[in-house]
Amino acid sequence: MPITSRVTMYGPAIYEVWVQGHLEEGWITQISVDSIALHSDPEGGPVTVLTATFRDQAELRGLLERIYSLNLPLVAVRAINTQQ
């Protein structure tokens, strides 16, 4: 997939954060997450995909620290769109 725009430290972007395990929909109200989707991985159990729009990477870091504090394995983080 070609990169059409660049992610910066201080610009807004939409991210997907993939976490091993099952997170409840209540997470949307606890943190700034646009959507939560649950996927089944036959070999590793459930994987939760959080989609969120962050104003900068400091907000993304806040979500990653929250995931870390819950001892949830992080599978992937991907910028899916930058907003110019």
- Tens-digit pLDDT profile for residues 24-46: 777 656 667 888 888 887 777 89
More confident residue, 31 or 23: 23
Q: Residue 79 pairs with which residues in a beta bridge?
A: 15
What's the pTM value of the predicted model, to 2 decimals? 0.76
Q: Could you tell me the fold of the domain covering 13-82? A: Alpha-Beta Plaits (3.30.70)
Q: What is the mean predicted confidence (pLDDT) over 45-49?
A: 89
Q: Please report, for residues 3, 24, 76, the alpha-carbon distance to residue 19 in angstroms, rounded to integers and kept in the order given.
A: 24, 12, 7
All structural domains of the chain with their residue ranges: 13-82
Counted residue by residue, the chain has a size of 84
DSSP string for 45-56: EEEEEEEEEESS
Comparing CA positions, the residue from 26, 81, 21 lying closest to residue 51 is 81
